[in-house]
Chains A and B, each alone.
Chain A
Amino acid sequence: MNLDAAIQAQIDGSLIRASYLLYVDSTPPVRAWTGVGPIQVAPWGQDATGGRYLGIGLLGGVPALAQLVNGTAARLDMSLSGVDSRIIDLAAGGSDDIRMKPVSVGLVFMGEDWQPLSTPLCVFVGDSDVIRFSSQSSANGERSREITLSVGSVLTGRRRPNYSYWTRASQRALSSGDAFCDRVAGYNVDSELKWPP
Chain B
Amino acid sequence: MLTFPYSTLRASSILLDIFGQTVASGLTNTGQQQRVNATGGGLWTLQLEFPQFNTANQLRAWRVIQYGGADGVVPINIAICDIRQAPRPFGEYVNTSVTHSDGSSFSDGSLYSSALISANLTANAAVRATTISVAFGNGSVPLGGEFFSLRYNGGLNEIHVITNVVETATGYNLTIVPPLRAAHVTGETLNFDHPTGTFVLAGPGSMSMATVMGKRGTGTASFVEYIPE
Interface residues of A (CB under 8 A from B): 13-20, 33-40, 54-55, 57-58, 110, 112-115, 140-142
Given contacts A58-B19, A142-B203, are A36 and B34 in contact (CB under 8 A)?
no
Give the one of A18, A35, A115 with max B CB within 10 A.
Answer: A35
Q: Tell me, yes or no, whether B178 is within 8 Å of chain A by CB.
A: yes
CA distance A43 to B79 in the complex (A): 39
Contacts of B100 in A (CB 8 A): none
Asked if A113 contacts B131 (CB within 8 A), the reply is yes
CA distance A19 to B36 in the complex (A): 9
Asked if B127 contacts A55 (CB within 8 A), the reply is no
Q: Within the complex, which residue of A36, A57, A114, A140 is in contact with B130, where a contact is CB–CB below 8 Å?
A: A114
Asked if B204 contacts A58 (CB within 8 A), the reply is no
**Interface size of B as a range:** 20 to 34
Asked if A39 contacts B128 (CB within 8 A), the reply is yes
B42 — nearest CB in chain A belongs to which residue? A36
Query: Total A-B pairs in contact (CB under 8 Å)?
Result: 85
Asked if A58 contacts B128 (CB within 8 A), the reply is no
A87 — nearest CB in chain B belongs to which residue? B229
B40 — nearest CB in chain A belongs to which residue? A35
Contacts of B169 in A (CB 8 A): none
Contacts of A113 in B (CB 8 A): 129-131, 179
Q: Within the complex, which residue of B33, B38, B204 is in contact with A35, where a contact is CB–CB below 8 Å?
A: B38
Asked if A110 contacts B40 (CB within 8 A), the reply is yes
Given contacts A39-B40, A142-B204, are A15 and B34 in contact (CB under 8 A)?
yes
Contacts of A37 in B (CB 8 A): 40-41, 127-128, 179, 181, 227
A37 — nearest CB in chain B belongs to which residue? B181
Q: How far is the CB of B34 from chain A (nearest CB, A)?
A: 5
CA distance A150 to B127 in the complex (A): 32
Given contacts A40-B127, A114-B179, A140-B205, are A15 and B37 in contact (CB under 8 A)?
yes
CA distance A113 to B36 in the complex (A): 15
